């Protein structure tokens, strides 16, 4: 059999489980996940290299209305990622069809690429007929290549989905070296892990106001030394983040450090600072500096 290689974009409304699916398809965590919209702020590549094929998955920010410059940049990234050999249109099967789904579907139609309708979170569905209804609803909206129910969280249906994707990859040589896993630098991943812990431990407007910048990264064979700043937009948010006696920030730092240690396979010394930066979401320079593409000068 000839070698196959291609690009697969994961599109869908915020919170549908796109990042969870990327991680499940690759069998490793590359994208942070949180129970709230707009967790993913930049397109993230994850490369799956198999004996006869290489699939480049692109996780994208959820499709939503743009208001801040940050949101506009996020949607630019989604549009830029929508050129693919196959598009995965991710539906949250546990909630009703909404405007965001319609917007995501419009983009899928525009790509013109074969699209697989993926119905996620089926573990939350008690009644099977609901799923069939939903599939019929989507069938009427677009001519999808196939309809696949999955639970990205539990890993159900993910093997089937991977096979269906593989069968639709064009023939061609590998696009990246065999051991290449992602386009994100390790220091960006570390910043993302820290941001994920913040998202899990804060509520309301705080998560949206948070950005993380790694200021120091010193990697030795036995120790990885990281200093990172967590930015928020208002003094009140800083107080929440730090918590009484620094308890909240300490918890966030400990959780992040443990996860970075597992990834790095060595001891990590993580120092965290919190700073207020009003309106960073509207600041082009700051946005470039916190996106890894800005960090590496791309
Ligand atoms: P994204 O915004 O589309 O990238 O969504 P995430 O991957 O960040 O997931 C959003 C939330 O949905 C998180 O709390 C996930 O744990 C949860 N989630 C994702 N997939 C599933 C699933 O198959 N079943 C259930 N029950 N929850 C899921
Ligand atoms: Mg995501």
Q: What is the 3-state secondary structure (H, E, C) of the chain?
A: CCCEEEEEEEEECCCCCHHHHHHHHHCCCCCCCCCCCCCCCCCEEEEEEECCEEEEEEECCCCCCCCCHHHHHHHHHHHHHCCCCEEEEEEECCCCCCHHHHHHHHHHHHHCCCEEEEEECHHHCCCHHHHHHHHHHHHHHCCCCEEEECECCCCECHHHHHHHHHHCCCECCCCCCCCCCECCCHHHHHHHHHHHHHHHHCCCCCHHHCEEEEEEEEECCCEEEEEEEEEECCHHHHHHHHCHHHHHHHHHHHHHHHHHHHHHCCEEEEEEEEEECCCHHHCHHHHHHHCHHHHCCC
Whole-number Å distance, alpha carbon 8 to ligand 1 midpoint, is 19
> What CA–CA distances, in Å, run from 256 to 45, 192, 198, 203, 249?
22, 9, 9, 18, 11
CATH 3.40.109.10 fits 186-295, yes or no: no
Token readout for 243 is 């918590």
Judge whether 14 and 165 are in contact, CB under 8 Å.
no
The DSSP bridge partners found for residue 47 are 56
Contact criterion met (CB below 8 Å) for 273 and 228:
yes
Expressed in angstroms, the distance from the first to the final Cα of the chain is 37
Q: Is 184 in the pocket of ligand 1 (CB under 6 A)?
A: no
Q: How far is the CA of 169 from the centre of ligand 1 (A)?
A: 26
Tokens of 248: 């909240």
Give the environment of ion ligand 2: residues with CB less than 5 A.
18-19, 39-40
pLDDT attached to residue 296: 54
Same fold for the domain at 4-167 and the one at 186-295? no
Q: Would you state the pLDDT for residue 83?
A: 82
Domain borders along the chain are: 4-167, 186-295
Residue to mutate, 18, 153, 156, 195, ligand 1, most ligand atoms under 8 Å from C-beta: 153
Residue 252 has a pLDDT of: 97
pLDDT tier at 39 (50, 70, 90 boundaries)?
very high
Q: Given the CA of residue 150, which atom of ligand 1 is nearest to it? A: 23
Residue of 248, 237, 228 whose CA lies nearest to 188: 228
Q: What pLDDT does residue 37 have? A: 85
Per-residue tokens: 81:
């990622």
23 lines ligand 1 (CB under 6 A): no
- 69-123 pLDDT, tens digit per residue, is 998 988 888 888 778 999 999 999 999 998 989 999 999 999 899 999 999 999 9
Query: Which of ligand 1's atoms lies nearest the C-alpha of 59?
Result: 4
pLDDT score for 80: 84
Average pLDDT of the residues of the chain: 93
Distance 63 CA to ligand 2 centre (A): 10
CB of residue 125 inside a 6 A radius of ligand 1: no
Cα distance between residue 142 and residue 106, in whole Å: 10
Domain 4-167, CATH homologous superfamily name and number: P-loop containing nucleotide triphosphate hydrolases (3.40.50.300)
Q: What confidence score (pLDDT) does residue 65 get?
A: 79
Question: Confidence band (pLDDT; 50, 70, 90) for 33?
Answer: very high
Confidence of residue 295 (pLDDT cuts 50, 70, 90): low
Average pLDDT over residues 152-163: 98
Top-confidence residue, 1 or 192: 192
Angle CA 66–152–162, to nearest 5: 105
Confidence class for position 185, pLDDT limits 50, 70, 90:
very high
């Amino acid at each position: 059999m000839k070698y196959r290689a291609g690009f697969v974009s994961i599109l869908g409304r915020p919170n549908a489980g796109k990042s969870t699916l990327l991680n499940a398809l690759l069998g490793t965590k590359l994208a942070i996940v949180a129970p709230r919209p707009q967790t993913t702020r930049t397109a993230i590549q994850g490369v799956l290299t198999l004996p006869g094929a290489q699939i480049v998955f692109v996780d994208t920010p959820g499709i939503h209305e743009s208001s801040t410059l940050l949101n506009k940049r996020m949607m630019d990234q989604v549009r830029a990622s929508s050129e693919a050999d196959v598009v995965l249109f991710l539906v949250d099967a546990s909630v009703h069809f909404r405007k965001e789904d319609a917007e995501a579907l419009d983009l899928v139609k525009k790509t013109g690429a074969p699209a697989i309708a993926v119905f996620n979170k089926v573990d939350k569905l008690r009644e099977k007929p609901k799923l069939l209804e939903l599939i019929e609803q989507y069938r009427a909206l677009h001519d999808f290549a196939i309809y696949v129910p999955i639970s990205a969280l539990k890993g159900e249906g993910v093997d089937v989905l991977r096979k269906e994707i593989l069968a639709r990859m064009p023939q061609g040589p590998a696009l990246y070296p065999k051991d290449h896993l992602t386009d994100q630098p390790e220091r960006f991943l570390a910043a993302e892990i820290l941001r994920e812990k913040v998202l899990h431990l804060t509520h309301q407007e705080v998560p949206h106001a948070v950005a993380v910048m790694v200021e120091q990264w010193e990697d030795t064979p036995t120790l990885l030394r990281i200093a990172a700043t967590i930015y928020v937009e208002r003094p009140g948010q800083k107080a929440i983040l730090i918590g009484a006696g620094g308890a909240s920030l300490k918890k966030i730092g400990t959780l992040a450090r443990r996860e970075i240690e597992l990834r790095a396979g060595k001891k990590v010394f993580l120092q965290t600072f919190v700073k207020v930066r009003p309106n960073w979401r509207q600041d082009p320079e700051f946005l470039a500096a916190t996106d890894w593409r800005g960090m590496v000068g791309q």
